[in-house]
């Protein structure tokens, strides 16, 4: 008992560290209790027809789901609404068309429009990146 009293601070902190360790080891999976959708998901649900949201849905379809045809439709819808302020939209749309094996006659106007709107772009030509997604 004398040793416990003499080393009471050490014992207290040791007990706290042990309790924290046990709590961490036995806690439930944090992914099981996910919070509601974040900002981008909520905005996309509220305003699905905005060009920027169509672009986000196209990226999700292209990279997360691997659905290039759906991505192409989202990108085309965004461009049809007159979206010109998003350089990435032109890049990913041209990349999507290249991955879908469209002829250069279909891809070249998109790249020219992109280069006209962004002459100092540092993004590479999507056709030079290969066929891997």
Provide the CATH number for the domain around residue 106.
1.25.40.10
Residues 63 and 108 in one domain: yes
Domain count, the chain: 2
Are residues 49 and 25 part of one domain? no
Residue 83 exposure: Cα atoms within 13 Å on the Cβ side: 24
pLDDT score recorded for residue 90: 95
Regarding whether 53 and 102 lie in a shared domain, the answer is yes
Residue tagged 């429009």 (tokens): 113
Assess whether 58 and 91 both reside in one domain: yes
Same domain, 116 and 51: yes
- Spatial CB neighbours of 77, under 8 Å, sequence gap ≥ 6: 49, 51, 54
Q: Do 76 and 103 fall into the same domain?
A: yes
| Residues 25 and 43 occupy one common structural domain | no
Q: What is the pLDDT of residue 20?
A: 87
Do 103 and 127 touch, CB atoms closer than 8 A?
no
Supply the pLDDT for residue 41. Answer: 75
* Residue 64 zone, left/alpha/beta (φ > 0; ψ -120 to 50; rest): alpha
Within this chain, do residues 82 and 122 fall inside the same structural domain, yes or no? yes
Q: Confirm whether 34 is domain-assigned.
A: no
pLDDT tens, N- to C-terminus, the chain (133 residues): 676 677 788 888 888 999 888 888 777 666 665 555 666 778 888 888 999 999 999 999 999 899 999 999 999 999 999 888 999 999 999 999 999 999 999 999 999 999 999 999 999 998 888 777 6
Distance CA 97, CA 22 (A): 53
| CB neighbour class for 112 (10 Å; exposed up to 12, middle 13-18, buried from 19) | exposed
Domain that holds residue 20: 2-29
């Amino acid at each position: 008992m004398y040793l416990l009293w003499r080393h009471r601070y050490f014992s207290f902190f040791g007990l706290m560290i042990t309790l924290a360790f046990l709590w961490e080891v036995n806690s439930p999976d944090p992914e099981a209790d996910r919070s509601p959708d974040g900002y981008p998901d909520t905005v996309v649900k509220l305003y699905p027809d905005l060009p920027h949201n169509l672009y986000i849905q196209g990226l999700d379809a292209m990279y997360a789901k691997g659905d290039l045809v759906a991505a192409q439709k989202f990108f085309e819808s965004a461009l049809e609404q007159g979206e010109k302020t998003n350089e990435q939209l032109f890049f990913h749309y041209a990349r999507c068309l290249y991955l879908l094996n469209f002829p250069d006659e279909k891809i070249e106007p998109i790249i020219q429009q992109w280069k006209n709107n962004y002459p100092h772009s540092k993004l590479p030509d999507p056709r030079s990146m290969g066929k891997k997604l």
